[in-house]
Amino acid sequence: MVRDRGTEILPAEWHRPETGPVFSADAKLPFSGLPAWRSNGGPVRGHPARAYPLSLELAGRSGLRRVHFLGIFAMYAHASHEAPGTMGASIHFGSDSEILHRVDLVNGRNYQDARLLTRSPGTVGDGTSCETVGRMEIDGEMQRIDLLSVDIPDGLPVDWIRFKDLGTPASFVIFDALLECTPAHACPFHRDSGGVALADVSPALRLGDRVKFSKALRQLSQTLSTADDLDDAKGQALTFAAVVAATALEMGGGREMHRWMLMISRQVDATESSRELADLVVAKVEAVADNLIPTADGPSAYLMDKALSYVDRNYARELSDIDIAGLVGLSTSHFRFLFRQSTGQPFHRYLVNLRLEKAKQLLNEGGLTVSDAAKAVGFSGLAHFSRAFHSRFKMSPTSAKRQGT
| DSSP code string of 292-331 | TS----STHHHHHHHHHHHHHHHTTS---HHHHHHHHT--
**Winning range, highest mean pLDDT, from 181-190, 352-361, 395-404:** 352-361
Burial 327-350 (b: 16+ CB within 10 A, else e): bbebeeeebbebbbebbbbebeeb
Bridge-partner residues for 107, per DSSP? Answer: 111
Cα–Cα separations (whole angstroms), residue 229 to 219, 232, 239, 242, 273? 17, 5, 16, 20, 10
Contact status, residue 210 vs residue 339, Cβ threshold 8 Å = no
Map out the domains of the chain as residue ranges. Answer: 8-181, 198-290, 300-404
Residue 297, pLDDT above cutoff 60: no
- Cα–Cα distance measured from residue 121 to residue 136, given in angstroms and rounded to the nearest whole number: 19
- Please write down the long-range contacts of 386-390, taking CB distance under 8 Å and 24 or more positions apart: 388/352, 388/356, 389/356, 389/359, 389/360
Under CATH, what is the fold of the domain 300-404? Arc Repressor Mutant, subunit A (1.10.10)
Listing DSSP states for 25-79 in one string gives --TTS----PPPEE-S--SSTT-GGGGS-SEEEEE--TTEEEEEEEEEEEET-ST
Predicted confidence band at 188 (pLDDT cuts at 50, 70, 90)? Answer: very low
Q: Mean pLDDT over residues 76-96, rounded?
A: 94
Lowest mean pLDDT among 179-193, 232-246, 372-386: 179-193
The count of other CB atoms within 10 Å of the CB of residue 301 is 16
Residue 367, pLDDT above cutoff 50: yes
Tell me whether the CATH fold assigned to 8-181 matches the one assigned to 300-404. no
Q: Mean pLDDT over residues 125-134, rounded?
A: 90
pLDDT: is 357 or 227 the higher one? Answer: 357
Q: What is the pTM of this model?
A: 0.59
- Cα–Cα distance measured from residue 290 to residue 357, given in angstroms and rounded to the nearest whole number: 21
211-223 pLDDT, tens digit each: 778 878 888 888 8
Residue 158, pLDDT above cutoff 50: yes
Q: Mean pLDDT over residues 359-366, rounded?
A: 85
SS3 per residue for 118-158? CCCCEECCCCEEEEEEEEEEECCEEEEEEEEEEECCCCCCC
CA angle 14, 15, 19 (to 5 degrees): 125
Residue 347, pLDDT above cutoff 90: yes
Q: What percent of the chain has pLDDT over 70?
A: 92
Task: Evaluate whether the domain defined by 8-181 bears CATH number 2.60.40.
Answer: no
- Dihedral of CA atoms 330, 332, 333, 335 in degrees, nearest 10, equals 50
Q: What are phi and psi of 357, to 5 degrees?
A: -60, -45
- Secondary structure E strands in 168-221: 171-181
pLDDT: is 343 or 47 the higher one? Answer: 47
**Winning range, highest mean pLDDT, from 17-26, 178-187, 380-389:** 380-389
